[in-house]
Amino acid sequence: MGLHIVILSVLMWYCALKWLKYYRVPQNFPPGPPSVPFLGVLPFMKDNFRDALQTWRREYGEVVGLQLGSELTVLLSDFDEISMAFKDKRFTGRPKALTETMTAFFASHPGEKNGGIVFSHGDQWTEQRRFALKTLRDFGFSKKNMEDVIMDEVYKMIDILKDTEDSVSLNQALSIGVVNSLWTILTGQKLNHGDKTVMEIITGTDNFIHQESMSGPLMILPWLRFLPGIREKFLASKAAPLSMRRLQNEMVAKHEQDSNTNNNEPSRKESSDFIDVYLDKIKDTRDRKSSFFGDQGRLNLQRSLTDIFGAGTSSGSSMLLFAFLYVIKYPKIQTRVQNEINRTIGKRKVTLDDRTQMHYTDAVLHEVMRHSCLVYAVPHATTEDVMVQGYDLPKDTVVYANVWHVMHNSDYWREPAVFHPERFLDRDGKFRKDERCIPFMLGKRFCIGQSLALQQLFLFFVTVLQQFDLETPAGPEKVSIEPIVGFVHQCPKYNVIMNKRTH
């Protein structure tokens, strides 16, 4: 018994010394809530993560210092401060705990290094992001030809939905349409609408991202994935990304085979998609330090495909689900959008050029993005010692942008809890942007899929409301627009009756 007490005492002292050495709050750090070793503020959180952030802001101000798990963390809630910080290269890092969890989730084998765009940093991140932005822009994210790809998926979805007589869930139909749009530009191929593997990938990845019981704690305490019970769930959740990796490997192998001549020299045919261009970049790279060189380049190709595909499909389908949810909740808004469709488009095919003439519809979509606030907090990390509003932030401090507060700040937005599209219209009824509506964030790490997401949102939304009147079986008063709060917001599940419009 005495020996056990001695061992326990030694362990406690060891843990205490480690805490004081590595996790002690430095001098001149922002004020914030109390914390305990290794868990930080987690034992004191009474609300979900989003609401806890708002509570800390009210109690401690626009700059809050706290211990989130074992990481020093700062919460920024002021728009101007967030804008200044996130445009600064010194704030472009990623939290170590979050990176560890996501790397383990998407890795195909233990020990695989991090790569790609979303969770890399430094020179590798700069190089990969610059390449991805240019390549995606060249292949349609900002070009008119992407319109045909999206509209093809819209009409496929409508063909499926128009034969339904009962109320249906839009989740699967929207996910497939959004997935195919993005998959085409990345691989040059289309996925079959009835493909079981694809739906398992979509469902599995969404479950991991959205389930608060799994993703929330794991994003902050990555070591939880080794504990009995959680370990089994975590390993099971990896089935979706591993299936996606296999699909990607098949696509990459096919592209390599097609791009090589009989003498194994690269063909000089014009590249037709993201994989083609990336493989050409790997072949042309001779600098061993480059993130495009050899095996490192191939890993970054895999991770970039996963990053773009995962981020684009989840946010795109979620935004559409929220958009249709709001017009079901508010039938008068749906009618006003349809009246604008009748005046501007009539029965012809919707085009992206129509958006400049559809001011109310554009206002509705921006109010959907503001009100739903899919990503309510965005985590970065400092890459060196910095100062914020007179406070010292050491290197590797996690910095959260409180996006929810920015887009629901009652000092700026009038009645922010009310869904009010007119806030995005000027006195003449023309659409006007607002710099504080930041669903894709801002600064050096803004979402690279922003352009495609906006295109999909407009074309899917307008075409569906051109073809159908949407209503809910229980009536609009029974519709809840309250998001499910996990590490991000998830649209509540709902069914819809789709009545074919006769105009």
C-alpha gyration radius of the chain: 24
Amino acid at 503: H
The phi-psi region of residue 479 (left if phi > 0; otherwise alpha if psi is between -120 and 50; otherwise beta) is: beta
Long-range interactions of 61-65: CB distance < 8 A, separation 24+: 61/30, 61/31, 62/389, 63/30, 63/388, 63/389, 63/391, 64/30, 64/31, 64/32, 64/33, 65/25, 65/29, 65/30, 65/31, 65/32, 65/391
Gap between the Cα atoms of 103 and 326, Å rounded: 35
Give bridge partners of residue 431 from the DSSP assignment.
Answer: 425
Q: Decide: 120 and 155 in contact? Cβ < 8 Å.
A: no
Residue type, 358: M
Q: How many CA atoms lie within 13 A of 348 on its CB side?
A: 6
Strands 378-381 and 398-401: antiparallel
Region of residue 409 (left: phi > 0; alpha: psi -120 to 50; beta: else) = beta
Number of Cβ within 10 Å of residue 388's Cβ equals: 20
Q: What is the 3-state composition of the chain as percent helix, strand, coil, each rounded to the nearest 5?
A: 55, 10, 35
Q: Collapsing DSSP states into helix, strand and coil, what is residue 73? A: strand
Give the contacts of 253 (CB within 8 A, at least 6 positions apart): none
**Any binding-site annotation on 447?**
yes
Q: Are strands 71-76 and 378-381 parallel, antiparallel or unpaired?
A: unpaired
As annotated, the binding site for heme includes 447
Binding-site residues sit at 447
